[in-house]
Structure 1
Amino acid sequence: MSKRSKIILIIIAILFVVALVWFGKKNKKSIIEYETETPFKTTIIKKTVATGKVTPLEEIEIKPQITGIIDKIMLLEGSKVKKGDLIATVRVVPNEQSLISARGRVDNIKLNVENSEIAYKRNKNLFDKGVISKQEFERFELTYNQAKQDLQNAQNDYLIIKKGSAGSGGSANTNIMAQMSGTILEIPVKEGDQVIQSNNFNAGTTIASIADMSKMIFEGKVDESEVGKLVSGSDIEVSIGAIEGVKFPAKLNFIAPKGTEEGGAVQFKIKADVSLSDDYFIRAGYSANADIVLEKRDSVLSVKEAVLRFDKKTEEPYVEVKQADGTFKNVTLKLGTSDGVNVEILEGVTIDDQIKIWNKASKDGKKIDD
């Protein structure tokens, strides 16, 4: 072998060794220093939000006692009223057939009264002369009195059909009065509209709705997965969409025993008394949300949910705890209440354990993926 060939072989050998050293260093995994954090004690509050609206606790609808036409409306929507205040008047438009029938009944009973009066007077003269007994005279007297009473009843019926009421209280049915003190929320009719009285077959026409705006309630719905954790009498907070940054205290007083299916989920109605502030005017029907505390755990050992991992086979939660030699060990946990950020630790780690923080590990201060 020539000298030149030996030199070439030596160079190749040196290059091969250098390559081996370079690849060895390249493939050697650096020791990664992970950031850690310790468990801590905090208060965990699990909440749910119920969407709904605020409505008056007491609200009534005013309906007419007669059928007719709205003659005049005295007040406007939003007006404050007291019980007995006049809201509107109704003009009676009698049914012609019923009016003629009632008038004919009055005329027929007048004939009976006239005949009974004649018989009464004739028999009274006979009784005064001692021709007939008192018992027989009283029979004619009773017939005459009954005829007069029938005439009075028929005349009253005629007046009711014609004017809406009888006697001196003729305005009692045609005047629409407030039945409670409060605020007029709505007057859904206008002058000239026909209204129908409430009866067994018809709910009647609503002339006005009145509510006490000083007493409001929250009406909302919660999901079936959370309704079992609600307790009647619990304190909640109500946020009204039209009033930003203000929460009104409320007390839960009703949880529906039966739910309704909406969009594939069963919802349960809830109600709560809202404590209002004089600084704000709350209108009926405002949309609102209620923050309801489902569970509260004071000063419990917790970790951030971000450090949790779940076993792919058992689906049990675990964390990686740093050991004395710098390595990490998987430790299975038993979890309690969670608020979405922090979770209660029942078993598994202590307050002194160092737990690996995922996605925050490097040897040069830069974040890397786990």
Structure 2
Amino acid sequence: MKKVIIFGGIALVFVAVLIWFGKMNSKAPVQFDTEKAFKATIVKKTVATGKVTPLEEIEIKPQITGIIDKIYLLEGAKVKKGDLIATVRVVPNEQSLISAKGRVDNAKIRVNNAEISYNRNKKLFDKGVISASAYEAVELTYNQAKQDLLNARNDYQIIRSGSSGTGGMANTNIRAQMSGTILQIPVKEGDQVIQSNNFNAGTTIASIADMNKMIFEGKVDEAEVGKIKMNIDLDITLGAVDDKKFPAKLNFIAPKGTEESGAVQFTIKADVTLDDNYFLRAGYSANAEIVLEQKDSVLSIKESILQFDKKTDKPFVEIKTGEDTFERRDVELGISDGINVEILSGVTADDEIKIWNKKAKKKEDDENN
């Protein structure tokens, strides 16, 4: 009885296996879609990230140390060369002030002494007692003493108030050195400022730029910098301006790169053509599309239907030779834009190329489900 049960079970399993194989053999073979090569314009581009900045920008620094007394303009104001931006109140150094006052007093003493000598010798010269050369020497000494007194007074006045008061612009008046827009005023009234000198760059009171001349400044990788050339056209897109491209022309490629995060980057600059309908602010983040290579109307296929040999890594496609039969065809590739790739050899415009990653049968099953 046990043997009958065992043999019966084996028979049932055998029948089930036969039925399963029958169903598998009755399934329709997997069918692949195909497509043909086509003519296309392929543009290979790279993107440089950076920002737009004014071509001409200067920083206004004081010529004297003191305290900001008054600020007359605000950031964003348009100025002309010579416009008053702020004034500085001088806080003189007491030691320097006392020293300058002492030089003035000494100069007065010398002038008084020279004046007495001059008046005495002038009377003698008028009577013919002394020669003309002796009189002229005394007169010269008197005139020099008066000039020394004037210089000492001017020095004292400059130390005390920042200006000699003899004409010209006072050092306490901070004026625009060029026409443009005030980008920034980093100081406030009451702030102490330091003059520009050989040992200190000085305090920046205002920065001014010509906003009618803007440039793009960005960086490109060393692998691509050799493919770009001077005076080529660029398209600039800004994060702050939607759906607008600003044309630009490349005018600078840095001769030396800088290493950033393990990659060498080269600075590039391009003149941006402005649009009167848009106001570009200094420092907008921007991207520049740079055309590295372009070919018009070349035989192309989609990159997605390419296959690569696992051993040699060489590209190939499968060409339809009959009903559900394909043969391998090695291909030589040209430029690519990431979607389409140029075919130099291996495929003709009449060949039907297998779309290896898209199965028609699976698509039908998905639609049925």
Normalised to the residue count of structure 2, the TM-score between the two structures is 0.90
Amino acid of the residue matched to residue 357 of structure 1? I
Distance 1:135 1:269 in 2: 71
> Does residue 1:186 correspond to 2:184, yes or no?
yes
| Residue number among 262, 265, 276 corresponding to 1:264 in the alignment | 262
Partner of 1:54: 52
Instruction: Call closer, same or farther: CA 1:364–1:144 in 2, change over 3 Å.
Output: closer
Partner of 2:352: 354
| Residue number among 330, 333, 344 corresponding to 2:331 in the alignment | 333
Amino acid of the residue matched to residue 110 of structure 1? K
Instruction: Call closer, same or farther: CA 1:22–1:99 in 2, change over 3 Å.
Output: closer
Instruction: Call closer, same or farther: CA 1:20–1:132 in 2, change over 3 Å.
Output: same
Unaligned segments of structure 2, at least 5 residues? 1-9
Q: CA deviation at 1:361?
A: 3.2
Distance 1:365 1:243 in 2: 42
Distance 1:209 1:270 in 2: 24
Q: Which SS does the other structure have where 2:140 is aligned?
A: helix
Structure 1 segment 215-226 matched on structure 2, within 5 A? 215-226=213-224
Q: CA deviation at 1:16?
A: 8.2
> Does residue 1:319 correspond to 2:290, yes or no?
no
Amino acid of the residue matched to residue 200 of structure 2? N
Instruction: Call closer, same or farther: CA 1:225–1:364 in 2, change over 3 Å.
Output: closer
The Cα offsets for residues 241-300 of structure 1, whole Å up to 9 and x where unpaired, read as 111111111111111111111111111111111111111121111111111111111111
Amino acid of the residue matched to residue 78 of structure 2? K
Instruction: Call closer, same or farther: CA 1:123–1:32 in 2, change over 3 Å.
Output: same
Normalised to the residue count of structure 1, the TM-score between the two structures is 0.90
Q: Is the 8 A contact 1:69 1:90 kept in 2?
A: yes
Structure 1 segment 1-370 matched on structure 2, within 5 A? 23=21, 26=24, 31-169=29-167, 172-324=170-322, 327-362=325-360, 366=364
Distance 2:335 2:131 in 1: 99
Q: CA deviation at 1:30?
A: 5.3
Q: CA deviation at 1:32?
A: 3.8
Amino acid of the residue matched to residue 101 of structure 1? S
Distance 2:274 2:94 in 1: 53
Partner of 1:3: none
Q: Which SS does the other structure have where 2:86 is aligned?
A: strand
Q: Is the 8 A contact 1:81 1:184 kept in 2?
A: yes
Amino acid of the residue matched to residue 137 of structure 2? R
Q: Is the 8 A contact 1:249 1:274 kept in 2?
A: yes
Q: CA deviation at 1:29?
A: 8.2
Amino acid of the residue matched to residue 214 of structure 2? M
Instruction: Call closer, same or farther: CA 1:138–1:30 in 2, change over 3 Å.
Output: same
Q: Which SS does the other structure have where 2:243 is aligned?
A: coil
Distance 2:104 2:166 in 1: 20
Q: Which SS does the other structure have where 1:53 is aligned?
A: strand
Q: CA deviation at 1:130?
A: 2.2
Q: Is the 8 A contact 1:240 1:289 kept in 2?
A: yes
Unaligned segments of structure 1, at least 5 residues? 1-11
Q: CA deviation at 1:326?
A: 5.3
Amino acid of the residue matched to residue 155 of structure 2? D
Distance 1:140 1:18 in 2: 139
Identical pairs, percent:
72
Q: Is the 8 A contact 2:305 2:357 kept in 1?
A: no
Q: CA deviation at 1:120?
A: 1.8
Q: Is the 8 A contact 1:236 1:251 kept in 2?
A: yes
The Cα offsets for residues 313-352 of structure 1, whole Å up to 9 and x where unpaired, read as 2111111112257521211111110000000111111111
**How large is the Cα RMSD of the aligned pairs?**
2.4
Distance 2:259 2:364 in 1: 51
Larger CA deviation: 172-181 vs 116-125: 116-125
What is the aligned residue count? Answer: 356
Q: Is the 8 A contact 1:163 1:170 kept in 2?
A: no
Distance 2:89 2:15 in 1: 115
